[in-house]
Amino acid sequence: MYSEQVMDHFINPRNVGEIENADGVGQVGNAKCGDIMKVYLKIENDIIVDAKFKTFGCGAAIATSSMSTELIKGKSIHEALKLTNKAVAEALGGLPPVKMHCSVLAEDAVKAAIEDYLKKQGRTE
């Protein structure tokens, strides 16, 4: 049911972990629904120099967390804010329809982490 890319990112997820003193942290989802994603960002001069995640969820939730952190590493926060759930799903070779919400969660988690960074800086975009 999952693409090879999803299975690859599930078996060998990239960027698992936490960043101490992260510049931005975003957590979305809730345990009741069975999905929580937490994204940590290290940001220098508005460039995302490192991204890590921790996820409670299904295979697709773990794979989309892994892929979305890969997609934003090295990008500016402005570029990263343009990340869409569709782009995450496409980069994974597609997701089953019932799992599309996982990619939405990944997009939301990245955005929440960037917003947290901006808030800490006293900025809004």
Number of helices (H) and strands (E) in the chain: give both, helices first. Answer: 5, 3
How far is 21 from 102, CA to CA, in rounded Å?
Answer: 27
Q: Which of 49, 53, 43 is nearest to 121 (CA)?
A: 43
How far is 16 from 66, CA to CA, in rounded Å?
Answer: 7
Q: Is 27 in the site for other proteins (CB under 8 A)?
A: yes
Name the catalytic one among 1, 11, 33, 98: 33
Sign of the alpha-carbon dihedral angle for 9, 14, 15, 16? positive
Q: Is 33 in the site for other proteins (CB under 8 A)?
A: yes
Tell me the number of residues near other proteins by CB under 8 A: 26
How far is 58 from 12, CA to CA, in rounded Å?
Answer: 14
Q: Which stretch binds other proteins (CB under 8 A): 9-17, 42-50, 80-88, 111-119?
A: 9-17
Q: Looking at the DSSP assignment, which residues form a beta bridge with residue 91?
A: none
Mask for 90-109, x = binds other proteins (CB under 8 A) = --------x-----------
Q: Which stretch binds other proteins (CB under 8 A): 7-15, 72-80, 85-93, 114-122?
A: 7-15
Q: Which stretch binds other proteins (CB under 8 A): 11-19, 42-50, 67-75, 83-91?
A: 11-19
Residue 33 catalytic?
yes
Q: Is 21 in the site for other proteins (CB under 8 A)?
A: no
Q: Which residues are known to be catalytic? A: 33, 102
